[in-house]
Amino acid sequence: MPNIDHTGYLPRLVKEGFQGAIYCTPATGDLLTLLLPDSGHLQERDAYFANKKKYSCHDPALPLYTEQEARQFLEHLQPVAYHEPKALTDELNFEYLHAGHILGSAMIRLNYTHNGGQKILFFPGDLGRSGQPVIKDPETVEGADYLLLESTYGGRTHQQVDVQAYLEELVQQTVREGGSLIILVFAGGRVLHHLKSRLSDRRNTVLFVGFQPQGSLGRLISEGKEEVKSMGSGCP
């Protein structure tokens, strides 16, 4: 998946010596060519300011990887189309299925064949809603010997909300108050810079798309905390 929280550490793995192939869907590969070099650039800039202003607990503050290192990582990407089984060994292959989450997202089905028998391990990952524009609906899968679910969304059910009507009301309310609507969608790091410059203006609306983990900056803001810390300084 192209979300930076799913892919952002991959260049570091290559930097530390990983030399194998990194498989992804074609759309994910296209997005990573934009996201990860930009992430490396932002980390270099953040490390520079952290060292200049002395707000990091590391001395010196260093990026996980640079823009150039992220570009070198891209050479390891091997896109695999949906519904196209990819052999990893003579006995093991995997296949991507549509997850309906974001552009490039996929469920993974692992097929293991040994001594005439077969076992299937299925990992759905993050699942989206049906009936979304642009994104294909999550596919229905029947039959698996093992189902691997992540805990973040494993026990959650999508609320039945008219998303378009809700978003329209937020936009109209923000316009009436003369503010800006900031939509946070895992853009890849630049969001912190935009957020910090606009968060203190109560006319603005911050809209989070997705779950905000306990203790994260997004969770603190969504819970209405009076002041949060971002990039080494407080922000009301």
Residue 42 has pLDDT above 60, yes or no: yes
Residue 234 has pLDDT above 80, yes or no: no
Residue 63: predicted pLDDT: 96
CA distance 136 to 133: 8
Write out pLDDT tens, residues 138-178. 999 888 999 998 776 666 676 777 888 988 999 999 999 99
Give residues with Cβ within 8 angstroms of 226, minimum separation 6.
236
Residue 220: predicted pLDDT: 82
Domain boundaries, the chain: 4-79, 86-154, 163-229
Residue 232: predicted pLDDT: 59
Q: What are phi and psi of 185, to 5 degrees?
A: -135, 45
- Rg of the chain over CA atoms, in angstroms? 21
Q: Does residue 123 sit in helix, strand or coil?
A: strand
Write out pLDDT tens, residues 77-129. 999 999 999 999 999 999 999 999 888 999 999 999 999 999 999 999 888 88
CA distance 73 to 16: 11
Q: What's the mean pLDDT in 176-201?
A: 75
CA distance 47 to 56: 9
Residue 113 host element (H or E): strand 106-114
Write out pLDDT tens, residues 200-230. 888 998 888 777 777 777 788 888 777 777 6
Residue 132: predicted pLDDT: 83
Residue 62 has pLDDT above 90, yes or no: yes
Residue 152: predicted pLDDT: 67
